[in-house]
Structure 1
Amino acid sequence: MTTAPAAQGATIEVRDLTKTFGSFTAVDQLTFTVEPGRITGFLGPNGAGKTTTLRMLLGLVHQTSGTATIDGRAYGDIDHPQSMVGSALEATNFHPGRSGRDHLRVLAAAGGLPVSRVDELLELTGIPAAARKRAGEYSMGMRQRLGLAAALLGDPRVLILDEPSNGLDPEGIRWLRGFLRHLSSQGKTILVSSHQLQEVEQTVDDVVIISNGRLVREGAVSDLRGAPTTFVRTSDPAQLAGALRVADVMSSPGSDGELVVETADLRLVGDVALRAGLPVWELRARKHDLEALFFELTEGTNRNLGDGSSAPPAPTERDAVTGQEGANA
């Protein structure tokens, strides 16, 4: 993939980030980097610490230790934050009696942005027909789109989204994938949190996987998939393995009598078997189940009470002020 010019985006750097609430550690010495011009999936089970991390990155929660910077600065030190960072952490942060257009107009006025940007974003996010409808009457999917429009008002270099596909139907999810890909092609830095790898694997370039507040894997999605391989069944696997070695293709015995070949070229394997005079009973590319890998990486590390239920997430600083508990971490 060709990366868009880095000048259009800004690097997100999280270094040894830690947040504790009393004796509870929500985020534990977390370190990762999000590069411009790429979509990074921030993944982990519910309660893993994703939202708490994003809130620290946006200055909504004060970290216990470590740093979280955007373009080398803490969010509170950015002079014009709307033009640097756009975020959507909740799809319910709207005045229920205010129309979608008026909600965006208030935000635009507060940020000194032109009103023309409001209608542009309503059109871009696909909700112009609902612009005069009260936000309290919006479906969850429409709220997600309105939140995305609000995040993009300042044409920010960085976009941070928390579970943006929640409430979207299959067509809406498909639209979101294409929309985020369009934004990343402009060089924007995009960080998207989710608790389902399968949900984002068709969209993201890189992943940061956390569990129990700690990093368990970081890297490109292509690296998670591993080397391409092929399964083949024949009457004499050992003979076929020898013929493949002659063709400079390595293989190894599978768990059920098949041969696992280190190539994705099905035609090559078939041609080698044909030259060796061996019948091919089965020949297929091996599909890597990234969702299974996600559960393998996080299994047994997420907080639980020993009876299969998850431990309640720690209250955030905002919850301490409002008196609410159990904000999603």
Structure 2
Amino acid sequence: MSTAAFQGSPTPGTSTLQGDARGAHVDIRNLTKVYGSFRAVDDLSFTVEPGRVTGFLGPNGSGKTTTLRMLLDLIRITEGTALIDGQRYRDIKQPLHTVGAALEATNFHPGRSGRDHLRVLAATHGIPDSRVDELLELVGIPAAARKKAGGYSMGMRQRLGLATALLGDPRLLVLDEPANGLDPQGIRWLRGFLRHLSADLGKTVLISSHMLSEVQQTVDDVVIIANGRKIAAGPLKELEGRASTRVTTRDAEALAAVFAQRGLEARVSDPRQVEVASEDLVLIGDTALAAGQPIHGLASAGTDLEEMFVRLTEQHGNRNTEGI
């Protein structure tokens, strides 16, 4: 399998992706899905903005995939709305040019080659085979394109799914666990590519993932749900809270007192560590030096997405009770 497309710059050529003046706006309002007595999604509301990558997060069984399937009209909505630029998915003309989605890495005929899978879909929208070949090269599987997709590895299936989602150069990309099965090089490429789609081309990107460390490096906004309900949403930087610096020293109490004298909020977290509400390393270093206090280490102490996720989903009423 070729990995050439996953090497070097993540920016694809303009012959492959042209972009659009604006991405599609996603508006989820009071969305509810009920199966008998079980509410899989419960009065859920959030928006996904163009030109940004939004991470849709939650424990297993929290309702993420159900929400995405309702957005794409794959299952019936019980109550509420899920709109893309003010329309239901089923009402969009030529949907491949508006929405590209990859919810499962097995959504293809196992006896059909990867290239033929894309060619069949392309034909439904008058997309030329040249576009198919460009995408196979872009996602890194040109050498495997004529092999039966049923024999693909997990990583190759993920790449084929991404190519499928990109086929119509859509304004909205919806991806469920897009990094599953990718090697570190592929994950790094995917991160840069998604950032390129949103920041440079103005597209809207909505991804659901359990790889929180990767999400933290990729997304602009997050929506966190548990038991079908929204428990947090907003720009990642705002949810992470105020940035701070962890300072390692010989006497944390003494150094904290020095910072307080300079008007810097400081908290002793360990006999040898102080957390300072500032990212100004020059100010922190100069303040300690002037007071004759040694610094043995400096590290960012911003909130980790994984820590925030666990804290929110483990709070009373938010623990997942129906997941597997």
TM-score, reference length from structure 1: 0.85
Instruction: Indicate how the Cα distance of structure 1 residues 186 and 134 shifts in structure 2: closer, same or farther if over 3 A, else same.
Output: same
Matches within 5 A, 1:39-78: 39-78=53-92
Query: RMSD of the TM alignment (CA)?
Result: 2.1
Which runs of 5 or more structure 2 residues have no equivalent in the other structure?
Answer: 1-18
Q: Which residue is 1:293 aligned to?
A: 308
Of 261, 264, 286, 2:279 maps to 264
1:266–1:284 contact (8 Å) kept in structure 2: no
Partners in 2 of 1:109 and 1:233 — Cα distance?
62
Q: Deviations over 1:119-144 (max 9, x none)?
A: 11111111111111111111111111
1:6–1:37 contact (8 Å) kept in structure 2: no
Of 199, 204, 214, 1:189 maps to 204
1:86–1:151 contact (8 Å) kept in structure 2: yes
1:243–1:273 contact (8 Å) kept in structure 2: yes
Tell me the secondary structure at the aligned position of residue 142 of structure 1: helix
Partners in 2 of 1:153 and 1:236 — Cα distance?
59
Q: Does 1:34 align with 2:48?
A: yes
2:31–2:43 contact (8 Å) kept in structure 1: yes
Partners in 1 of 2:142 and 2:52 — Cα distance?
28
2:20–2:171 contact (8 Å) kept in structure 1: no
Partners in 1 of 2:48 and 2:106 — Cα distance?
27
2:268–2:274 contact (8 Å) kept in structure 1: yes
Partners in 1 of 2:20 and 2:143 — Cα distance?
35
Matched to 1:104, the amino acid is: L
**Offset of 1:259 from its aligned partner?**
3.1
Q: Does 1:198 align with 2:208?
A: no
Instruction: Indicate how the Cα distance of structure 1 residues 6 and 297 shifts in structure 2: closer, same or farther if over 3 A, else same.
Output: farther
Matched to 2:286, the amino acid is: D
Matched to 1:56, the amino acid is: M
2:252–2:270 contact (8 Å) kept in structure 1: no
Q: Deviations over 1:202-228 (max 9, x none)?
A: 111111111111111111221233212
The list of structure 1 runs, each at least 4 consecutive aligned residues, that deviate by more than 6 angstroms after superposition, is none
Partners in 1 of 2:148 and 2:52 — Cα distance?
35
Q: Which residue is 2:320 aligned to?
A: 303
**Offset of 1:233 from its aligned partner?**
5.2
**Offset of 1:149 from its aligned partner?**
0.8
Matched to 1:86, the amino acid is: G
Instruction: Indicate how the Cα distance of structure 1 residues 259 and 170 shifts in structure 2: closer, same or farther if over 3 A, else same.
Output: closer
Instruction: Indicate how the Cα distance of structure 1 residues 235 and 12 shifts in structure 2: closer, same or farther if over 3 A, else same.
Output: same
Tell me the secondary structure at the aligned position of residue 8 of structure 1: coil
Q: Which residue is 1:19 aligned to?
A: 33
TM-score, reference length from structure 2: 0.86
Matches within 5 A, 1:89-238: 89-184=103-198, 185-232=200-247
Instruction: Indicate how the Cα distance of structure 1 residues 94 and 293 shifts in structure 2: closer, same or farther if over 3 A, else same.
Output: same
Partners in 1 of 2:98 and 2:116 — Cα distance?
23
Matched to 1:223, the amino acid is: E
Q: Does 1:251 align with 2:245?
A: no
**Offset of 1:22 from its aligned partner?**
0.4
Instruction: Indicate how the Cα distance of structure 1 residues 299 and 196 shifts in structure 2: closer, same or farther if over 3 A, else same.
Output: farther
1:232–1:259 contact (8 Å) kept in structure 2: yes
Q: Deviations over 1:230-275 (max 9, x none)?
A: 2335566566445434534222343546432111223322211222
Matched to 2:244, the amino acid is: T
1:206–1:221 contact (8 Å) kept in structure 2: yes
Tell me the secondary structure at the aligned position of residue 217 of structure 1: strand
